[in-house]
Structure 1
Amino acid sequence: MYCTSPDFQAKMTNVHKFIYTLAVAMSIQLGLATEQAFATKLNAAPLPHERDSKDFSNGEETVIPPSATRFKRRPDAREVEKQQKADELEAQKNAALAKKQQLDAEAKAQQQQIEAYNKQAQIAIEANNSAVALGKQGRWMEAIAAHEKAVQYDPKNKQFRVNLSAARTAFGQQRMAQKDYAGAASMFRKALSAAPDNGLAGKMLVECMKKSGLDATNADVRIQVGDQLAGANDFEGAAIEYQAAMQIEPSGKTYVKMGDMAYRYGQITTATNWYRQAIIKDPNCGAAHRQLGFLALAQRDNTSAAASLRKAVILDPKDVAAGQQLVEIWRKQVATNPLLAENHLGLAGALQLTGDFVGAESSYRKLEALDPKNPGLEAGRASLSRAYQHAKAEKHKLASTTLYNQGLRREALAEINQAVMLEPRNAEYQFLLGECLEANGDYQNAHQAYLTCVLIDPENNKEAAARMKAMQNQSGMTAQQSQNAISQVTNRLTGANSQHSPLATPQAQAMPVQTQQTAPAALAQGMPTDNSGVRKNMFEGGSGSPTLPQTMNFRTHDESEAAQSGTAVAAAPGITAPQTTAPAANDNLAKVSACEAQKDYAGAVTILRQLLSDNLQNPDIHHRLAVNLMSAGEISEAISEFRIASALNPKQKAYAEDLARAMSIHKRSMTSDGAGAPQ
């Protein structure tokens, strides 16, 4: 409820008037105060402050210190552009100055090089002139020293090298006149080293070696001399001898020696090329494989190193350095990963190749503990057993050789009999057996041993063939007797009637054989062979795989030249013609053809072996059996059958060609496959 009396309204009106009047008065007062502030002069006394007084009338610039705040003013685009131009200009000036300094330095260095070269050239010229003067006076040692100084200061000057070579040649001739052949030969080699085209030095070196009792035209002699010089740290002379051997006979051995010299001088690529050329020249050069293995090992390529060293040990079991390094590689692999079965398998193979049979057996036991079903375990232990047997046979052979040289013929015969019983298909043992039998007067059994030796390895046993022929010429032998002897030996080699006539020594199984005037032509022909007659696996240097290269091209029985022409195969002189096949045999041959069509080579081999028991002198069956054995991967047995076929019918060229192919494949397989490779 509001009060609306007239007194109250009058009072409120008076209050409003008073407030209005007060507000107007205060506004006027504030306006007057503002006008007074704007009218204050600039040169008035400053207000009180804490800093020093400043006189603004003296015109001095005052530097305002930077603000203590961390927030800085951002430069605008014009300032940024100006700064960039200034920086670019400064960079250009610095680059131009640096380039000028570099050009000046290069010019100065080039000038210094020219001055140094001119100085060295002048020294070389003076030394050469001095050497020529000394040479005219016969002071050859001083002349050679001066010539060497000239070559040292200017090695690119060919004339200086020619002068040095001539001085050394003259000094060598002087020594040769004094019968100092060793010193003269050394001077001639140094002369050739300075100038390889010095024909006089080469001629005098040959003459000097002849007077020293050495055959300078024999590559082996030059290599032997080079080895002696290398052993005396005369690598310069050794290189000359190796080069001479290379010119006489560029064999794998000489290539290895050239590679060794390149390796000594640190030319790794050149050395590798020499070793590879040695392998191309002679795939059986174990030294080349060994050196390639060492080079690969230096480059930390353990896989290639192990493969090359393994080939080296297979080709040369007496290579101790290669064998030790191969074992060391596998020992490191086993130490790195002892739970990997393949490492123990590789170590076992390496130990077996180096003759450590006890260590190999220990590795096989560890492999069996890790992986009893490892596919390489059974084959490895089988090969180890054969290696034990071969080592035992080698001891008997060594004993027999020693006793034979001492004149103890009977004792030698007893020892070699033991070796032959352990390895009856070893041609070397058979030859030694023949020698011992012949020395003891047992010519019949000696003839049989020589015949066995020739049938096993015709190419490397020409001496056995010659001795057998001599025995045949001394006492007449009919064609039938010769045929019986060949049949009996062939029967034992093929193992067709092993239960009745095991392959034993002729002494233990004598047969009444006489000699004839002529032997089969195939017995004297050179044919590749494998002495052992036993297929080698990957632990013994053979192929670990039954498969054959796809490039193999062997004729089957039906593809032979005789089958194509429809003519009968002629028999060798003194050997009866092949036996005719009965109807049952024809049925079996048809089964063989069916197996071959289905690529069942194992079945074909089984049937042909049965046929062979009744047709031992049929070369066609031997050849066909060999072809199927090759297809089945039994290379060594196939080679034996190819040999027998060639011996029974030497006029059949297809047999000899297939034998050569089989031997080539067998040789490649010995050096190609490996028992695993280290990582």
Structure 2
Amino acid sequence: MLKQSSLLKFSPILLAVAFTVALGTQSALATKLTGAPLPYERETKEFNDSNAVAIPPSGSRFQRRLDYREEEKLKKQQEAEAAKKAEIDKLRAIEEQKKAAAQQVENAKQFIQTAIDANNSAVAFGKQGRWNEAIVAHEKAVQYDPSNKQFKINLSAARTAYGQQRLAAHDYAGAAHLFRQALAAASDNAMAAKHLSEALKKQGIDPGSVDQRLELAEKLMGSGDLVGASIEIQQCMALEQSARVYQKMGDLCVRYGQVTNAMAYYRQAIVKDADYGPAHRQLAFLQMSKNDFTAAAASLRKAIICDSKDVAAGQALVELWRKQVAQNPLLAENHLGLAGAMQLTGDFVGAEGEYRRLEALDPRNPGLESGRASLKRAYQHAIAEKHRMAAETLFSQGLRREALGEINQAVMMEDKNPKYLYLMAECLEGIGNYAAAHAAYLKVVIIDPTKVEAAERAKEMQKNMGMSGAQVAQMSGQIANQITAQPAQQQPMQQAPQQMQPAQQQLQQQQFAAQPPGSFRVAQPEEQVQQQMQQHDPSRKSMYEGGSQRPAFNPQAMNFRTHDESQQAQAQMEQEMQQQARQQAMQAQQAQAQQQAAQSAAQANGAPVSTNDALSQVSVLESQRDYQGAATLLRQMCDADVQNPELHHRLATNLLNLGQVVEAIPEFRIASALKPAMKAYSDDLARAMAIHKRSLMSDKSDSSVSGSK
């Protein structure tokens, strides 16, 4: 009893001790340094696995560098692999090429078969008269087999047959279009060419006229039918291989985008006719598209010289030089080129402005003096051209004498221009002055031997006047000597102030001396009159000649210097004027002698002198600049025929040439009152009154200046 109770008494203590011992033993196992290591993955990994990564024998994580033997071995290995791969690729490419060639042959066979089928179906359609379907099928055959000439012949035949059908139905435009398409398919289709000419005749077009067919080609080109335009131009080339035909062919090549062929055609046109301006212009445009501006400028200049009315070429040339000036405004040659371009296009004010800029940049530029001399000649030629156009207009309206007055001014400016001389000869022949007309015709032939019309007219007039061969030879020799004679060099003479005529009266004479009576003139602005007075007085120098006076620039009055005003230039101009005066005097003497002989014969027969004969005498006196004698004869005619406005107007003009403005104004008023509808009479009256007013104001200013002195 005692043992059991004692065990029960110590049992909780024993349990506590046992639990404590157990905990202490576990803690000692976790922290013991000499204990066995914990298990890791290597013990559980299966090393017999074939996919396992081999562990390098070296314990370092860095790879060892290969030596040269290993590198050579690796390189040979790579080269072998690359060669093997290249061989495989080559074999594969050859195989693919063989497959592609086989496919191409198969496609070609299919295309040829398709073309044959289309051609067969087209023939079947044609036998049934279904030409639209036949043409479509033939076009398909040509499209699938373009090298087959027979297919093209069949297409051309189908279009020709359909065109004949449309021609029979009076559809001439549609028939002509089909015939052109037939010629485009086969150019040797003579039947299509024949029916095309027939269709054009039905439309009112002459198939043998190059002008009409070129115009038709231009219309077709404008409508987008380039094939039809090409056929028309080819037909024109078969009729006439001229410059304009080659130029049109070049234009067609431009539309197709064939620039090289177009330039070749333009050059061929220039070879045919070097003076054909459109070919030069079109060639210049292509040269500009290739940035060859030097050649383009030369071609544009030639185009404008050949045709001064070519606005497109003129604008292109000026714009080209403007760009050059904008790129380098300090280069004198650019301003010289721009001045020449403006001169060619008729912009004389702009040309003079560029010459001024050139002078400011380079006063000793070698092209400055020659450029200004050329500008002077161009300005003078422009004035002469205006007189020539006025003369042609008057001559076409039957106003022979007025036309003679205008063309006479042009001849005075350019006495060796065959065009002006021929028109003057026609005017002289129109008023009955056959001797002077015959001399003018001979002069035209001597200057330009190619003027066959002038030679024919001179020959006919020789027969009518009964001139002998010796007389004709003598007259021809005199005219040739006048043309080839050179005036002797003379020193300019200085006139004393007391011997000089007043500047106002000289100015009035210069304004009308160069314009014979009967011509329609335009009033000069006041600035231009002042400029003429300055040019007349050699003591007044401009800024270009070392003077201090700066010329005022007025674009409306065109107040700019166009020529050299030095004494040497004035002496040369005086010599030229004297030479012209001598030539005209010799011609006028011959005409006057014949007129006097005719007048004396008429007086001997007792016949009165007609008005036409008297006006012819007036024209002779005016050509000799004997305005006093012409005015005296006109006064007598006015007394005999008071109601004739033309006589009063002509008398007033001669009085103005003499400087008698006060006496001329009443005659202008009478002419204007007798014929108010003639605007020229009222304009001349207003101009005469303006000149008289300016002369009065100038006299007042001179008197005030002398009084102040």
Q: Output the TM-score relative to the length of structure 1.
A: 0.63
Q: Which of 192, 195, 200 is equivalent to 1:209?
A: 200
Partner letter of residue 356 of structure 2? R
Counterpart in 1 of 2:445?
A: 454
Residue 383 of structure 1 deviates from its aligned partner by 0.6
Counterpart in 1 of 2:479?
A: 489
CA contact (8 A) 2:407 2:420 kept: yes
Q: Distance in 2 between matches of 1:229 and 1:153?
A: 28
Counterpart in 1 of 2:171?
A: 180
Counterpart in 2 of 1:377?
A: 368
Residue 132, structure 1, aligned to residue 123, structure 2: yes
Counterpart in 2 of 1:428?
A: 419
Cα distance per residue 1:250-270 (max 9 Å; x no partner): 222222222222232222332
Q: Mark the CA change 1:51 to 1:443 in structure 2 (over 3 Å): closer, same or farther.
A: farther
CA contact (8 A) 1:472 1:514 kept: no
Counterpart in 2 of 1:234?
A: 225
1:283 partner SS? coil
Counterpart in 1 of 2:245?
A: 254
Q: Distance in 2 between matches of 1:416 and 1:80?
A: 103
| Matching of residues 22-101 of structure 1 within 5 Å | 62-63=55-56, 73-101=64-92
Residue 409, structure 1, aligned to residue 396, structure 2: no
Q: Distance in 2 between matches of 1:252 and 1:428?
A: 24
Counterpart in 2 of 1:293?
A: 284
Q: Distance in 2 between matches of 1:264 and 1:46?
A: 104
Residue 506 of structure 1 deviates from its aligned partner by 8.0
Residue 509, structure 1, aligned to residue 500, structure 2: no
Partner letter of residue 196 of structure 1? S
Q: Mark the CA change 1:52 to 1:318 in structure 2 (over 3 Å): closer, same or farther.
A: same
Counterpart in 1 of 2:635?
A: none
CA contact (8 A) 1:477 1:514 kept: no
Residue 480 of structure 1 deviates from its aligned partner by 5.2
CA contact (8 A) 1:396 1:418 kept: yes
The more displaced of 208-217 and 167-176 is 208-217
Partner letter of residue 242 of structure 2? S
Q: Mark the CA change 1:53 to 1:105 in structure 2 (over 3 Å): closer, same or farther.
A: closer
Q: Which of 263, 267, 270 is equivalent to 1:279?
A: 270
CA contact (8 A) 2:439 2:587 kept: no
CA contact (8 A) 2:277 2:303 kept: yes
| Matching of residues 99-110 of structure 1 within 5 Å | 99-110=90-101
Counterpart in 2 of 1:329?
A: 320
2:590 partner SS? coil
Partner letter of residue 263 of structure 1? V
Question: How much is the aligned-residue C-alpha RMSD, in angstroms?
Answer: 3.2
Structure 1: state its 5+ residue gaps. 1-44, 516-679
Q: Distance in 2 between matches of 1:196 and 1:58?
A: 91
Partner letter of residue 334 of structure 1? V
| Matching of residues 317-396 of structure 1 within 5 Å | 317-396=308-387
Q: Distance in 1 between matches of 2:579 and 2:67?
A: 115
Cα distance per residue 1:561-605 (max 9 Å; x no partner): xxxxxxxxxxxxxxxxxxxxxxxxxxxxxxxxxxxxxxxxxxxxx
Residue 309 of structure 1 deviates from its aligned partner by 2.2
Q: Mark the CA change 1:62 to 1:452 in structure 2 (over 3 Å): closer, same or farther.
A: closer
2:432 partner SS? coil
The more displaced of 245-254 and 74-83 is 245-254
Residue 337 of structure 1 deviates from its aligned partner by 1.1
Counterpart in 2 of 1:477?
A: 467
Residue 49 of structure 1 deviates from its aligned partner by 11
1:502 partner SS? helix
Q: Distance in 2 between matches of 1:66 and 1:502?
A: 125
Q: Mark the CA change 1:397 to 1:507 in structure 2 (over 3 Å): closer, same or farther.
A: farther
CA contact (8 A) 1:331 1:347 kept: yes
Q: Distance in 1 between matches of 2:201 and 2:127?
A: 30
Residue 505 of structure 1 deviates from its aligned partner by 5.7
CA contact (8 A) 1:481 1:514 kept: no
Q: Distance in 2 between matches of 1:217 and 1:184?
A: 19
The more displaced of 279-288 and 378-387 is 279-288
Work out the number of aligned pairs and report it: 468
Q: Distance in 1 between matches of 2:420 and 2:237?
A: 36
Q: Mark the CA change 1:337 to 1:150 in structure 2 (over 3 Å): closer, same or farther.
A: same
CA contact (8 A) 1:420 1:505 kept: no
Q: Distance in 2 between matches of 1:172 and 1:275?
A: 34
1:355 partner SS? coil
Q: Distance in 2 between matches of 1:99 and 1:503?
A: 97
CA contact (8 A) 2:300 2:313 kept: yes
Q: Distance in 2 between matches of 1:185 and 1:66?
A: 98
Cα distance per residue 1:317-376 (max 9 Å; x no partner): 233222222222211111111111111111111222222222221211111111111101
CA contact (8 A) 1:493 1:503 kept: no
Residue 104 of structure 1 deviates from its aligned partner by 3.7
Residue 435 of structure 1 deviates from its aligned partner by 1.2
1:215 partner SS? coil
Residue 388 of structure 1 deviates from its aligned partner by 0.7
Counterpart in 1 of 2:629?
A: none
Residue 91 of structure 1 deviates from its aligned partner by 0.9
Residue 445 of structure 1 deviates from its aligned partner by 1.8
Q: Distance in 1 between matches of 2:80 and 2:336?
A: 73
Q: Distance in 2 between matches of 1:472 and 1:262?
A: 54
Q: Mark the CA change 1:81 to 1:287 in structure 2 (over 3 Å): closer, same or farther.
A: same
Partner letter of residue 139 of structure 1? R
Counterpart in 2 of 1:655?
A: none
Q: Mark the CA change 1:64 to 1:254 in structure 2 (over 3 Å): closer, same or farther.
A: same
Q: Mark the CA change 1:62 to 1:463 in structure 2 (over 3 Å): closer, same or farther.
A: closer
Structure number with the higher helix fraction is: 2
Counterpart in 1 of 2:453?
A: 463
Partner letter of residue 588 of structure 2? Q
Q: Mark the CA change 1:355 to 1:65 in structure 2 (over 3 Å): closer, same or farther.
A: farther
Counterpart in 2 of 1:156?
A: 147
Structure 2: state its 5+ residue gaps. 1-32, 49-53, 488-575, 596-709
Residue 398, structure 1, aligned to residue 389, structure 2: yes
CA contact (8 A) 1:255 1:277 kept: yes
Counterpart in 1 of 2:651?
A: none
Counterpart in 2 of 1:636?
A: none
Residue 474 of structure 1 deviates from its aligned partner by 0.6
| Matching of residues 582-593 of structure 1 within 5 Å | none
Residue 225 of structure 1 deviates from its aligned partner by 2.7
CA contact (8 A) 1:175 1:181 kept: yes
Q: Distance in 2 between matches of 1:288 and 1:463?
A: 29
Partner letter of residue 509 of structure 1? A
CA contact (8 A) 2:436 2:587 kept: no
The more displaced of 311-320 and 209-218 is 209-218
